[in-house]
């Protein structure tokens, strides 16, 4: 293990902004009542399609519901699906990738074939089939997006584990008398996963975008869910008459994806700096 103290990397202002935004989003996800007092289902048909104003910063939708409140309440759903899907992906990817790389031989070939098959399934098709069988819901979205993104991660994990395994580093760890499980847990896995941190954080952003795509096609969480993609789907028909319904939630999605990616990269740079 490196004993050199991690060099401090200067924190760029961009990273600070990204971090603050992500923190805000997390607060919105976990405790929306801190940010807004309204409920996302407060229907007020007489006040429908109101333009953004002081009392309704994001305007209201076709049922008179305050859009900002809905976006805030939808954060938990969107973020939850994104994290859940990424979690499912990574869990499957680590299991499959590490097993394939470590055990090698026939197991490796079989797993690689399985990955090829799942790769050949466009993620949306997998999602369509899963939703068609089990109906649209939060769980279905998580599973569908998770399975769809898994093959890419599995391949990367496998590649990384192979690289670490073949480096002299692991042999010396063995030579020092560590048990295989300790070697795996303390040396192999962290070293293999470190370069993937940026990929995973990028993946969270992407999972949220993909989950919202499902919702956009009507395959996501059923209405009146305030999930971001569902909001955009609902706003689609009003884009020429009430632009805020289709623009503002989209900006939130994009901003969050950018922020998460930026954080991920900066995190990656720090970790790589620390490892040297």
Partner 1 sequence: MRAALPKLASAVLVLVVAASITFFVQLLLPGDRATVILNLQNGRDQEWPAAEVAAVNTRFGFDRPLAVQYLDYLAGLFRGDLGDSYTEFRPVTEVIGAQLWPSVVLTVGALIVAWVIAVTVTVLTVRRGRFLPGLGSSFEAFTASLPHYWVGMLLLVAFAVQIPIFPVIGGDGLAGTVLPVLTLAIPLSGFLGQVLRDEFDKVLDQPFITTARTRGMGDTAVRLRHALRHAVLPGITLSGWALGALVSGSVIAENIYGRPGIGQVLVSAVNNRDVPTVAGIVLVVAAIYVIANLLVDLAYAVVDPRLRTS
Partner 2 sequence: MTRTSPFRRAGVVGIGLALAGSVLAACAGGPAGGSGTRVEGGTITYAHVQEPPCIFGGWIQQAYISRQVLDGLVTQDTDGSIKPWLATSWTASPDGLTYTFALKDGVTFTDGTPLDAAAVAFNFDQWVTTQLNGTAKVSIDPYYRAAEAIDATHVAIHLNAPYPQFLTLVSQGYFGIQSPTALRTRTAAENCEKPIGSGAFVVDQWRKGQEVVFKKNPNYTSWPATAKHEGPAYVDELRWKFVPDALSRYASLTTGQSDVVYEIPTVNWKDAQAKFATTIRYITPGKPVSFFINTVRGVFTDKLVRQAFAHGADRRGAVEAGFHGVIPYEGNPSVSQSTPDYNSAAADAYPFDPAKANALLDQAGWTARNPDGVRTKDGQPLAVKLVYGAGSIFTSEGATVLQALQEQWKQVGFAVTLVPATRAELTSGQYSDPSTYDALPSYWTSPSPAILWIVWRPSTPEKPNGNNRSFYNNPQLSQVIQDANTSTDPERASQLYQQAQQIISDDAAGIGLYTQNTLVAASNGLKDFWLEQSQGEPVFSDAYLVK
**Can you give the binding site for partner 1, defined by CB under 8 A?**
113, 116-117, 119-125, 128-129, 132-133, 148, 152, 205, 209, 212-213, 216-217, 229, 232, 236, 239-240, 246-247, 250, 253-254, 257-258, 261-262
55 binds, among partner 2, partner 1, none (CB under 5 to 8 A by kind): none
Torsion sign over Cα 258, 259, 264, 267: positive
Take residue 95 and report the two structure tokens written for it: 């299991």
d(CA 247, CA 232): 8
Residues binding partner 2 (CB under 8 A): 41, 43, 45-46, 48-49, 62-63, 132, 135-136, 218, 222-224, 233-234, 236-241
d(CA 14, CA 233): 31
Between 122 and 273, CB nearer to partner 1? 122
Look-up of token digits 């935004």: 21
Between 202 and 219, CB nearer to partner 2? 219
241 binds, among partner 1, partner 2, none (CB under 5 to 8 A by kind): partner 2
Please calculate the CA angle 200-202-205 and round it to the nearest 5 degrees. 115
Take residue 126 and report the two structure tokens written for it: 């997998």
- What SS3 class is residue 60? strand
User: Least separation, in Å, of the C-beta of 256 and partner 1?
Assistant: 8
Between 134 and 169, CB nearer to partner 2? 134
Contact, 111 vs 99, CB < 8 A? yes
Between 27 and 128, CB nearer to partner 1? 128
Please calculate the CA angle 26-31-35 and round it to the nearest 5 degrees. 90
User: Least separation, in Å, of the C-beta of 188 and partner 2?
Assistant: 45
223 binds, among partner 1, partner 2, none (CB under 5 to 8 A by kind): partner 2
């Amino acid at each position: 293990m490196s004993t050199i103290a991690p060099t401090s990397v200067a924190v760029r202002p961009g990273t600070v902004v990204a971090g603050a935004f992500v923190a805000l989003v997390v607060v919105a996800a976990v405790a929306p009542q801190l940010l807004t007092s309204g409920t996302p289902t407060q229907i007020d048909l007489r006040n429908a399609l109101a333009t953004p104003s002081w009392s309704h910063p994001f305007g209201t939708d076709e049922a008179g519901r305050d859009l900002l409140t809905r976006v805030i309440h939808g954060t938990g759903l969107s973020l939850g699906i994104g994290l859940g899907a990424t979690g499912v992906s990574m869990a499957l990817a680590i299991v499959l990738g590490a097993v394939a790389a470590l055990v090698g031989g026939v197991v490796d070939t079989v797993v690689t074939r399985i990955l090829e098959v799942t790769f050949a399934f466009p993620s949306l098709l997998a999602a369509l089939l899963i939703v068609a069988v089990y109906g649209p819901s939060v769980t279905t979205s998580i599973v569908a997006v998770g399975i769809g993104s898994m093959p890419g991660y599995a391949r990367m994990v496998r590649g990384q584990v192979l690289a670490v395994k073949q480096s002299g580093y692991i042999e010396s760890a063995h030579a020092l008398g560590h048990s295989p499980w300790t070697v795996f847990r303390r040396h192999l896995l962290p070293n293999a996963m470190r370069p993937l941190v940026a990929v995973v954080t990028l993946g969270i952003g992407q999972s949220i975008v993909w989950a919202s795509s499902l919702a956009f096609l009507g395959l996501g969480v059923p209405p009146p869910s305030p999930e971001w993609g569902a909001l955009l789907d609902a706003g689609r028909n009003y884009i020429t008459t009430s632009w805020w319904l289709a623009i503002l939630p989209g900006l939130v999605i994009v901003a969050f994806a950018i922020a998460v990616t930026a954080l991920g990269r900066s995190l990656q740079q720090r970790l790589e700096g620390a490892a040297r």
